[in-house]
Amino acid sequence: MKKLLSIWTVGVLIAGCDCLCTDREFGDIKLKLTINEQNTTVDVLIMEGYLDDRDTLEQDVVAREKVRYKEFIPDTYYTGVATYQKNGRTVKVIDGRFMDLKENEDCDCYRAENITLNLRLKE
């Protein structure tokens, strides 16, 4: 019984560490967009830094309400811009977030945190 308990304890410790720490060097950026009759596609920009920095990393035309871009460097601020048409006018929606690099003390490693940018058009 003691041997079984010891194996179980070691298994839990190893599995617990694996579950909490998947050593990730890069994070993903998820976008939430508005797709409707007037905007069947949306022009999207993802920039490193703030809007004024204008350092474009991704430029895309998207036809889905949710999209994910992979492998961005953590410890960096990212800005997203979506361009829509609304009542004959061009409207830009902007959102930005800092992608953290979190330390997991249990496993002694770091992990990039995914971020979500809300670029939905307000009705």
Q: Is 40 among the domain residues?
A: yes
- What range does the domain containing 30 cover? 23-118
pLDDT band of residue 107 (cuts 50, 70, 90) is confident
Residue 43: which of 58, 29, 31, 61 has the closest Cα?
61
> Quick check: is 1 in a domain?
no
The average pLDDT across 2-29 equals: 56
Going through the chain in order, the beta strands assigned E by DSSP cover 27-32, 42-48, 55-62, 66-72, 76-86, 89-99, 101-104, 109-112, 115-118
For residue 32, tell me if it sits in a domain. yes
Reduced to 3 states, what is the DSSP secondary structure of residue 29?
strand
Residue 71 lies in a domain: yes
- Which pLDDT tens digit goes with each residue over 32-64? 999 999 999 999 999 999 999 889 999 999 999
Give residue 114's pLDDT band: very low, low, confident or very high (50, 70, 90).
Answer: very high
**If you average pLDDT over residues 13-35, what whole number do you get?**
72
Query: What total number of domains does the chain contain?
Result: 1
Q: What is the CATH number of the domain that holds 51?
A: 2.60.40
In a domain, residue 7? The reply is no
- Inside any domain, residue 9: no
**Is 14 part of a structural domain of the chain?**
no
Cα separation, 23 vs 18, whole angstroms: 9
- Pick from 57, 31, 27: nearest CA to 118: 31
Q: Is residue 12 part of a domain?
A: no
